[in-house]
Structure 1
Amino acid sequence: MVIKHLSELLQIKELDERTEAIRRGFSSFTDSVDVTGCEKEALIILVNLTFPKKAVKDVLDKKHAKATLKDEYHLNECIKQVEWFHTHNLKYPDIRVSKQRLIAKPIVPQRQVLSSADCSPTLGWSNNSAKINLAKLFVCYFYWQGRLVCLANIFCGGIPKEWLSAFKALGVSAKSLNVISAQVQLRLPQSELPSYVDKYSTQVLMPYHDSYTSITPVVSHGLQVELQQAASRREGRYTHLNYNRPGAVSELVAGLGGKVRCLNYPPKISDNKSNFHESMLTRLEHGQSLFDQYALLRNEFPNALDKLVDNYTELAVKQRRQAKVASLKQVRHSLSAWLAPLIEGRKAVEENDVDIKAGLLNQDGIEWQLLNHPDSDWESLLPLLFSHLNFMLSNSNKTRKYAYHPDLMKPLKNQLLWILKQLSRGPAEVVDAKKLQRYLHLKNISVYDAQLLSNPYCFGLPSLTAVWGMMHNYQRKLNAMLGTTIRLTSFAWFIREFDYVKGTQLPEFAMQGRKESEFRRPGIIDKRNGDLVFDLVIHIDGYEDDLAKLDNSTTKLKACFLSRFAGGTMHGPSVNADYEWCKLYENEDLLYSILSRFPAYGKWVMPTKHSINSVRELTVLLENNASLCSVMAGYMLLEKPKARAGSIAPLHSYGEPVIGLASCDSAIDIRLQGQLNFYRRAFWFLEAKEQFLLMKRI
C-alpha cells in the first residue's frame, strides 16, 4: 500500500478534480492520506466536509472554514455526533436497531482467524442519516506522524502544538480548544456496551461453560473498512451487497453509495454429475481420452505453472516460499483431477462394475496400463505418463508453452511421482475400533435457501457454526428421545452440489411501526441464498450403554433429523431412495472405504493451518491457493457474558464474527492422502473459551 501525501493532492490545478481527489482521500473506503506538515490544510478540509457537496464547491476554502468554526451551533452539532462513534456497528445490516452504540476494548488476536484485532483501531459513525456530514469533522481518518488517527483521537490524547497552530490560524483560541477537547472526551469513553439487547438485534445461542449464552453478532468497523480499501486496490475477489438507505446504516456505507463489498470465494463444485460408469464407456466408444483434459485447461493450472516459471523477484523470501508451495499444491490438485477418471475407472474394473470390450483401448497405451497395471508397480509408469502429459500440454494453445519447459520438468515429474506412489501404497493397517465411539454418515442431505452470506464479510460457504449448531441440536433431540448422554463432538463436511438462488427474498409479514400497530413487511435486507446437497460425517462419543442404545435406534436417528440449516429448509433423501442415508459406523476402515469413493465433482471442506495476520495476507493466500475459501469460523467475544435485558438466555454477550479459511479438497485428493490423513485433518470442532468460540481442526 502506497500512502499519498496531502501535498500531492493540493498540487492538482483543476478545481473539480482536486476536490474529488481530496474527498476520496478523506473517505473511509479508500487508503487514507498523510497530512504531516499540512495540518492547517487538513483542518480546513475536515471543517468543509461537514457540509453537503453542493454547499461547498472547494474544500480548501479557508474563509468558509473560518466562519464555520465561529458558528457555535454548527460546531456543537459536530461535537454531538461523537456520541454515535463506534468500533462495532449495531445498525448493520438492520437499521431498525436504534439509540445504541458499541465501543469495545481491543481483543486478543487468534492466529488462524482474521478479526478486528488484526486491523488498525478505527471508529465509525452510525445514527440519524441527516447528520452524516456533521460527523466527518471528527471521524475522518488520516495519517499523521506515522499514526492513523482522526481529530477525535487527537483531542483525546492532548492537542499537539502543530494542531494548536492550525486551529489558531483559523481563529480558534486555546481556551476554546480546551472546551472542545473536554466535550469530545466526555462523549468518547474507552468502552461502552448497550445495557439491553435491542429487539431487532440478532441473537445466537452458543455453549458457555455448562450452559448457554446468547451472542449478538456485530460487524467490526475496522475490519470492514480494510476490506473495502483492499477491494478499491483490487486485492482479492468481491461481490457487493445493496443497501437502499445507506446513510442510515453508517458513514462508511453511505460513502460507498450503499454498495458494500464482501469476499466472494464460493466452493468450486463441478456441474458435470453424469454417471461415471456410463460416461466412461461412452467416451471409449467415441474414441475419446479417459483423462480429464479440462483439468489442465482450467485457469488454476496455467496460473500455477506461470508462478513456478516466474522468479518472484518482487517478493520477499517468505512470500516467495509461500507462493511456490501454493503453486506446487495447485499443480498436484490439477494433475490428480486429470487422472481422476482413470483412478475411478481402475476401481470400477477391479470390482467388475465396468466391462471394457476388446478393441476399445490400445493395450500398449498409457490408459490401458493405468487401468490394469499391478498396484505395487505404478511407479514404473512414470516415464510413459510424463510423456503423455507433455503431449497433451502441447496439443492446446493455452498450455503449449509449458510442454517440456526446462523449469517445469522437475516439478511436474515430482508431482506425478507422488501421485503414483500414493496409488501404489497398500491399504492401511487395520486398527482395532474404539468401542466408545461411532461415526454417523448422513448422505445426500438437501438444503434449500441456505444463507450463503455466512458473516458480514464473506460470501460463499454457509457458516461453519451453522453446521455445528445443527449438529448440536441433533444431539439434544437424540438424547431427549433415547434418554442418553451421547456427544456429537465433531464433523467432516462434503458438498456434492452448490447453486445460487437469484434475487432477494421478501421478509415475512410482522407487526411493524413505532408502536408495532401495522401488519406489514420490514425493509428488505440484501442477503444471498443458495441450494446445496451435502454429506455429513459426525463423530460420536458416549458411554458403552448409550452407544448400544444408539446402535439399535436407526429409526429414531431418522426421526430426530432436523428440518432447518443455515436459515434454509433441510430434507433427507426421498423415501424411494435405494440407499441408506442415515447410517452408523463403528469401524473407521469400513467408513473410509465408503468415503474414499465419493464423486470427483464434490469437495471436502477441510480445516487449514494457515495463519492470518492482516487483510493483505488473507487476500494473498486466497489468490495463491485456488482451493481456499473464506468462511465464517466463529466469534470473538467483546465482553464476558453477563445478564442483560432482552436476552433470550440467562447470559448475553456481543460477539464479533471472524473470517477463517477452509480448503475445498476433491475426493481424489482425500483418497490419495490416505485414511490416517483424513481422520486427522478433515474434522471440525467448536473450541469454546472465555474470549472466543471458534471452529478449528480437531
Structure 2
Amino acid sequence: MTLDELLAATDFEDLVSSTKRAFRPLSPLIDITNNPLDALTILVNLTEKGITNKNLMDRTRCKEKLRDDKWWAAVLKTAQYRHSHNVKFPDIRSTGTIRTAAPDNLPAYFITSSKLPNIGWSYSKDSSDINRCLFFTSEFLWAGQACCLAKALADSEHPLWKALKKLGCYENTKKQAVKALSQIANELTDVDLTGNYLSQVSFPDGQDSYLSFSPIASQAMQCFVYQSLEQHHRQTALMSFDRAPNMGLLAASCGGRLRLIETKPYIKDKRHQCISKQANWLTKEAIRAMEQYLRSEQWLATPIKKLRHMTTVKSDIRAMINRWLTTVTKTDVLSPTALAEQLNNDIASIRIVEKYAYQPRLTRLFIQLIESDIENNSSKEERKPAATSQYLLIPELRICGGSAMSSSVSVGLFSMMSLYGFIHAFERNVHRVLTSFTIDSFAICIHNYHLEKRGLTKEAIKKTKANKDEKEKIAPPAIYDDWQFDSCISLIIKTPESKTISTDKIVALLPKRFARGSIWLPIDDIQNIATFPEPFTAIQAIKNPLGTWLSFEADLSLTSTDSLVGIAVNRRNLWLTGMGYQYLEPPTVKPDSLRDYPHAFVENILGYVKSQPVSRATNLDDLFWCYQVKPFGVCLLPRSIK
C-alpha cells in the first residue's frame, strides 16, 4: 500500500492511529515514494506526545521541530539504538545493542532470521523515547527498497534531504545530522555481560570443552511471524508483557501482545508401538523349514538331492535360531537345553506355529544348532550390538511446569536443546561414579502432554507518598506471561559400551530440572529401569502403551515465516520447536561469561519434529537423537541425518 492510498481510505478521526499502525514494525512496509513531504511531516509530528488528528499533517508544527536543535538531538540519540536482535526480550532489565545479520548457511529444513529480509530492526532502549524514535527508526518503502531515515539520511545526496529542506530544515542542521548518522555502524554488537540480566547456557564444543551461549530474539522473525499469523487464529498463541515500551518499539506497537506459532499434535489415544509379538526371528522361510524338516522322512528324492535340501532347511532354521538368540538376555548363563526349552515356549505362544513346539525331532535339532552356535560363535555379527552396546530404559518420567516456549516465536513442544541439556546433565552426573560412561544417542517417547498459559503475577504494592497531602496509591500488579507444559516421557539411552549401574544410583543421578520445570521418577516406576541388548525389546518393555516417539521432519523447505505457518496449518502431526543455536558471532573469551567459557550471542534454530509410532519396519536411526556441532552452530538431529 502507498501512503496516498492510506490517506485516501482513512477517516479523519482515525488518522493518527492508522498512520502509526502503517509505520509500526509489525505492519507491511508502506510506500512513500510518491508523497515524501506528507510522509516526513507525519513522521516528524508523530514524535510529539499526544499528537491529535488535527495536528498530524500540520506543516507549521513540522517546520518548528525541524528547526529545533533540541528536537534533532533527541531524535538522533534514538537512531543508534536500532536492534536486529532485542536483548530486552523477555527480560526488560537486560541492556545492550545488537545490530547484525545472521549468516545464511543453514540447511533447507532449518530456519532463522538469516532466511528473512533484514527489516523490522526497531528501537529498543528507553521507554521515554518511544515516540521520538519513530522519526529515524520507522521503516518504509522508497523506490521499491526497504529503508529507514537513519540509513537514508546518512547519505547527504539522498532525495529525502530535498524534501526535508522544503519542510524547513536548515543546511547546517543537515550537515550535523549526516555526520552523526554516518558515524553509526551498520552492524554492531555492544553488550556487556558484567552485571547484565542476559541468560547464558553452556553446551559442548565437540573438543572436550564447552561454549557459553546467550540466545537473543530476532526482531525480524517476530515481525514476520506476527504478520503471517494474521488470519490463522488457531495456530496463534499470545504472549503478553507489561511495560511494553520498556521492551522496545516492536512490543509497544502491539500493546505488548506478541503472536507466536502454536503447534500441539494430538497424542492422547495413540499407541507408541505396534511391534508384533511374532518377532522378526520368525519368518515365512523359518516356518516352511520347520514343516519340511518334520516331513523329511517322506521326501522322495535321491540321497544327494535329499542331503542338499536338508542342508538348506537346516540353514533356514539356524538363521531363525540366530535371530531369536539376539532377543534373549543371559544366553551365556543358560545351557543349550534350557535355551531350547525357552525357544519351544516362545513358539508355543504363537498361534500359527504352536504345533511345532515341543516336537522331539525339532527339539533335538534346536539343541544341536544352539550348541554349534555357541561353540563356533557363528552368530557373533548378529549379536554384536548386545555385546558392545546397551540400551538403558528410564520409563515414565514426570515433568511439571516446564517451559513450552522453545523460541521467541514458537510455543508448544519444549525445546529439543533443553532435552539434550537434561541428557547431558545426566551423563555428567554418572561420570561421578563411572568415568568411562558416555551417551551415544537417545530416543524419547511422549506419553501425554498438557500445554497451558501460566504467568507470574506480582502482588499489588502501595506507592510511597511524594507529599503528605497525597492519598495512598496502589501500584497495579505486574504480569509476566509464560507458557508451560506438564508431561510424562520415557527415555531410551544408547551407550557404546555395556556398563552396569545400579537402579538406585541411576535414580539418584537423574537431574531434578527439565526445561526450567521439575522432573522426577515415580516410586512405582523405579523397578522398571532396565538395560536391554537391542532397542525393540526396550521399547516393548515400556508398560504405558499410549504415546508417540519423536522424529525429525527433514523433507521440508523452510524459506519464510509463511511456509512455517502453512506447515503448522496443514500438517497437524508436526511440532515446531527449537532444534539448536546459530552463531551471530564467533565464540570468544569475554569477561563474566559462564564459567569463563568462550561466549557467543546466538539465535534459536527452528525446525519441525514429527510424532511417529514404532514398528519392525521403523528405521531406528530416525528415532535416536545425537548432538552435533556444525559450522553454523550446534543442533540436535537424528542419527540418520549426517
Q: Which amino acid aligns with 1:621?
A: I
Instruction: Give the Cα–Cα distance (whole angstroms) in 2 for the partners of residues 83 and 689 of structure 1.
Output: 33
- Whether 1:451 and 2:386 are equivalent positions in the alignment is no
Q: Say whether the 8 Å CA contact 1:236–1:620 is kept in structure 2.
A: no
Structure 1 residue 690 displacement after superposition: 4.4
- Measured after TM superposition, the shift of residue 196 of structure 1 is 2.9
Change beyond 3 A, Cα 1:59–1:647: same
Deviations 1:493-537 (A, max 9, x none): 1111112355324689xxxxxxxxxxxxx9653212221001112
Q: Within 1, Cα distance between the matches of 2:439 and 2:140?
A: 50
Unaligned runs of 5+ in 2: 275-345, 354-380, 460-476
Tell me if structure 2 keeps the 8 A contact 1:213–1:649: no
Aligned length: 516
Which of residues 464, 468, 475 in structure 1 aligns to 2:420?
468
Question: Of 564, 585, 608, which residue of structure 2 is paired with 1:618?
Answer: 564
SS in 2 for 1:192: strand
2:364 corresponding residue in structure 1: none
Q: What is the alpha-carbon distance in structure 2 between the residues aligned to residue 142 and residue 373 of structure 1?
A: 73
Aligned CA distance change for structure 1 residues 524 and 161 (closer, same or farther; 3 Å) = closer
> Does residue 520 of structure 2 align to residue 571 of structure 1?
yes
Structure 1 pair 137/159, CA: closer, same or farther in 2 (3 Å)? same
Normalising by structure 1, we get a TM-score of 0.69
Residue by residue over 1:269-289, the C-alpha shift from the partner in whole angstroms, topping out at 9 and shown as x without a partner, is 32799xx9xxxxxxxxxxxxx
Q: Which runs of 4+ in 1 moved over 6 A?
A: 350-353
Alpha-carbon displacement from aligned partner over 1:600-659 (angstroms, at most 9, x marks no partner)? x42222111123111011111111211111111111111111222222222211111222
Structure 1 pair 211/695, CA: closer, same or farther in 2 (3 Å)?
same
1:258 maps to 256
Counterpart CA distance in 2 for 1:20 and 1:523 is 26
Closer, same or farther in 2 for the Cα pair 1:616/1:373, shift >3 Å?
Answer: farther
Contact 2:628 2:636 in 1 (8 A): yes
Equivalent-residue separation in structure 2 for 1:133 and 1:352 (angstroms): 81
Structure 1 Cα separation of the partners of residues 222 and 637 of structure 2:
23
Is 1:627 aligned to residue 579 of structure 2?
no
Tell whether the 8 Å contact from 1:164 to 1:174 is kept in structure 2 after alignment.
Answer: no
Q: Does 1:686 align with 2:641?
A: no
Q: Is the 8 A contact 2:269 2:547 kept in 1?
A: no
Instruction: Give CA deviations for 1:367-414 in whole Å, capped at 9, x if unaligned.
Output: xxxxx999xxxxxxxxxxxxxxxxxxxxxxxxxxxxxxxxxxxxxxxx
User: How do 1:302-451 residues align onto structure 2 when only pairs under 5 Å count?
Assistant: 431-434=382-385, 435-451=387-403
1:138 to 136, 161, 164: 136
Please give the alpha-carbon distance, in whole angstroms, between the structure 2 residues aligned to 1:473 and 1:143.
49
- Which residues of 2 match residues 209-228 of structure 1 at below 5 A? 209-228=207-226
The answer as to 2:526 corresponding to 1:529 is no
Q: Offset of 1:175 from its aligned partner? A: 4.5
CA deviation digits over 1:156-204, x for unaligned, max 9? Answer: 4x25543132112112245532321221232344222324344311111
The equivalent residue for 2:88 is 91
1:107 counterpart residue number: 103
CA distance in 1, matches of 2:621, 2:389: 16
State the one-letter code of the partner of 2:454: G
| Cα distance in structure 1, aligned partners of 2:20 and 2:456 | 36
CA contact (8 A) 1:19 1:59 kept: yes
Asked if the contact 2:417/2:579 (under 8 Å) is kept, the reply is yes
Q: Which has the larger Rg?
A: 2
**RMSD over aligned Cα, in angstroms?**
2.9
Distance 1:234 1:190, change over 3 A: same
Letter in 1 for 2:33: T
Which residue is equivalent to 2:285? Answer: none
Q: Which amino acid aligns with 1:526?
A: D
Name the structure 2 match of 1:488. Answer: 439
CA contact (8 A) 1:450 1:568 kept: yes
Verify: 1:162 aligned to 2:159, yes or no: yes
- Are 2:16 and 2:53, in contact at CA under 8 Å, matched by a contact in 1? no
The more displaced of 171-180 and 136-145 is 171-180
Seq. identity, %: 23
Give 1:558 deviation, angstroms: 2.8
Residue 81 of structure 1: which of 61, 78, 103 is its match?
A: 78
Distance 1:552 1:136, change over 3 A: closer
Of 551, 574, 577, which aligns to 2:500?
A: 551
Alignment of 1:235-250 (within 5 A): 237-250=235-248
Are 1:603 and 2:552 an aligned pair?
no
> How far, CA to CA, are the matches of 2:625 and 2:37 in structure 1?
54
Structure 1 letter corresponding to 2:587:
P
Alignment-mate amino acid for residue 630 of structure 2 = K
Cα distance between partner residues in 2 of 1:482 and 1:261: 46
* CA contact 2:153–2:160 (8 Å) conserved in 1: no
Q: For residues 551 and 42 of structure 1, do their structure 2 counterparts lie closer, same or farther at Cα, with a shift above 3 Å needed? A: same
Q: Secondary structure at the match of 2:446?
A: strand
Distance in 2 between residues matched to 1:636 and 1:437, nearest whole Å: 32
* Counterpart residue type for residue 547 of structure 2: G
Kept after mapping to 2: 8 A contact 1:640/1:691: no
Q: Are the equivalent residues in 2 in contact too, given 1:433–1:587 (CA < 8 A)?
A: no
Counterpart in 2 of 1:300?
none
Contact 2:260–2:408 (8 Å) recurs in 1? yes
